Amino acid sequence: MNRTIDDLDTPQLLLDLDRVDANLAKMRDGADRYRVALRVHFKSLKCSGLARYLMERGVDRFLCAKLNEAEVLVAAGVKDLFIANQLVGSAKMDRLAQLMDKATLAVCVDAPEHVALLSRLPAHGTRRLGVFIEVNVGMDRCGVETPEEALKLAGQIAKYPHLELQGIQAYDGHLQGQEDTPERARRCREGLVKALAIRRALEGAGFTVPTVTGAGTSTWETAAPVDGITEIQPGSFLLMDGSYHRLRPEFGVSLTILATVISVRPGRYVLDVGSKGVSQDFARSTLKDRPLDQVLKVNEEHTIVETKDSEVKIGDRMEIISGHCCATMNLHRTAVAIRKHRVEAHWPIDASGRYD
């Protein structure tokens, strides 16, 4: 059936594939220009249909934030996957072991306890689990602080034949929303200096450290030219939101939420989706192609919009641009892939609503 978005019920999350394609091409051109690998972050996407769509277009490296996202990606056929997090607990070790037969995997560590847990994983033939030492590049979340900490971890990793030190994780999530562009670039480079100093210390001690990976949608272009950076890991560039688009307008917004006007009063109208369907934790949502309309208030099931357009009527359709694409994807269970107003696919957002 040849359907258009006019046939869809609302609220409905939409993905504009033409903009996804353009965003991917732009980022791949940048990665090729600076001769770094592109590893797409799935924590923003959460949708196996979109992952398969990207694989069909040549994306062969992904990373994710949680083990449930890794399970979704492996089930979708991804073969090269980095879980950019510390996994703790016997249940997670059992789940990780089940994935090791199906894909080339890597995880993060920043403490001896992490390596001790990974050491108990069963051997999987000649397949080894990749291990990245996370460095705190300013986010003050996880990550080692000194070369001495990294050297201790590398020595511990080397004791186990089924573990392999693959590199340094240097993600700068604290800078992704930094609006001062020169300051964002300065702090990005400062963090990378720290990460590369730790890499040099490891190599000086005889360890092989083939990969230094990091940066996101807002910092990739600062990180990619830095000598020693081998891989970038943006994800939100494919979707975009109001906050990211303000910082990196060269990437188009592909993610919107289709909504219906359900009430009209002088100077305002109300849409049939609220905070349960549109995240605003980074910025207030906006209306696509309606720059003069302003979101006044968002309740759980309603978005109240101020307008000077006296022609708005009950039943009109609007597309909302979220304030945070990653969290908005997590609020929905299906995505409709569209191209030029027509529906191409319905995809489950398999990893949404899960935190394991």
Residue 2 is predicted with a pLDDT of 83
334: nearest Cα among 77, 8, 82, 75: 8
Which of the residue ranges 2-11, 33-42, 121-130 would you say has the lowest mean pLDDT?
A: 121-130
For residue 356, being part of any structural domain is answered with no
DSSP 8-state symbol, 187: H
Q: Is 155 helix (H, G, I), strand (E, B) or coil?
A: helix
For residue 40, being part of any structural domain is answered with yes
For residue 154, being part of any structural domain is answered with yes
For residue 243, being part of any structural domain is answered with no
Helices and strands of the chain, counted as H and E runs: 10, 18
Q: 163-214 pLDDT, tens per residue?
A: 999 999 999 999 999 999 999 999 999 999 999 999 999 999 999 999 999 9
pTM of the model: 0.96
Examine the fold and report which residue of 235, 266, 300 is the final residue of a domain before the chain moves on. Answer: 235
Residue the block writes with tokens 């905070």: 275
For residues 217 and 160, state if they share a domain: yes
Residue 52 CA to residue 5 CA, distance in Å, equals 22
37: nearest Cα among 167, 153, 154, 157: 167
Question: Average pLDDT, stretch 130-152?
Answer: 97
For residues 111 and 211, state if they share a domain: yes
Contact between residue 295 and residue 284 where contact means Cβ atoms under 8 Å apart: yes
Count CB atoms within 10 A of the CB of residue 7: 10
Residue 244 CA to residue 240 CA, distance in Å, equals 6
Q: 6-29 pLDDT, tens per residue?
A: 999 999 999 999 999 999 999 999
Residue 46 CA to residue 69 CA, distance in Å, equals 7
Contact between residue 260 and residue 8 where contact means Cβ atoms under 8 Å apart: no
Residues 96-133, buried b or exposed e (16+ Cβ, 10 A)? beebbebbbbbbbbbbeebbebbeebeeeeeebbbbbb
For residues 92 and 200, state if they share a domain: yes
Q: 317-335 pLDDT, tens per residue?
A: 999 999 999 999 999 999 9
For residues 35 and 118, state if they share a domain: yes
Within the chain, where are the H helices?
A: 17-34, 48-56, 67-75, 90-100, 112-119, 147-157, 181-204, 220-223, 242-247, 325-331
Domain harbouring 268, CATH code: 2.40.37.20
For residue 240, being part of any structural domain is answered with no
Residue 125 is predicted with a pLDDT of 65
For residues 96 and 204, state if they share a domain: yes
Cα separations (Å) of 187 from 56, 163, 192, 283? 36, 32, 9, 22
Cα separations (Å) of 262 from 178, 279, 305, 314, 316? 36, 20, 12, 5, 8
For residues 183 and 127, state if they share a domain: yes
Mean pLDDT of the chain: 96
Helix (H) or strand (E) holding 165: strand 163-170
Contact between residue 78 and residue 51 where contact means Cβ atoms under 8 Å apart: yes
Q: How many domains does the chain have?
A: 2
Cα separations (Å) of 348 from 53, 126, 343? 13, 35, 14
For residues 196 and 48, state if they share a domain: yes
Percentage of the residues of the chain whose pLDDT score is greater than 90: 96
Domain harbouring 125, CATH code: 3.20.20.10
Q: 271-318 pLDDT, tens per residue?
A: 999 999 999 888 899 999 999 999 999 999 999 999 999 999 999 999
For residues 118 and 265, state if they share a domain: no
Q: Which domain holds residue 147?
A: 17-235
For residues 168 and 210, state if they share a domain: yes
Q: 241-275 pLDDT, tens per residue?
A: 999 999 999 999 999 999 999 999 999 999 999 99
For residue 241, being part of any structural domain is answered with no
Residue 276 CA to residue 272 CA, distance in Å, equals 11
Does the pLDDT value for residue 127 go beyond 90? no
For residue 61, being part of any structural domain is answered with yes
Residue 203 CA to residue 210 CA, distance in Å, equals 10
Residue 328 CA to residue 281 CA, distance in Å, equals 10
For residues 54 and 202, state if they share a domain: yes
For residues 219 and 279, state if they share a domain: no
Residue 350 CA to residue 356 CA, distance in Å, equals 13
For residue 34, being part of any structural domain is answered with yes
For residues 256 and 336, state if they share a domain: yes
176: nearest Cα among 138, 213, 221, 218: 218
Does the pLDDT value for residue 121 go beyond 90? yes
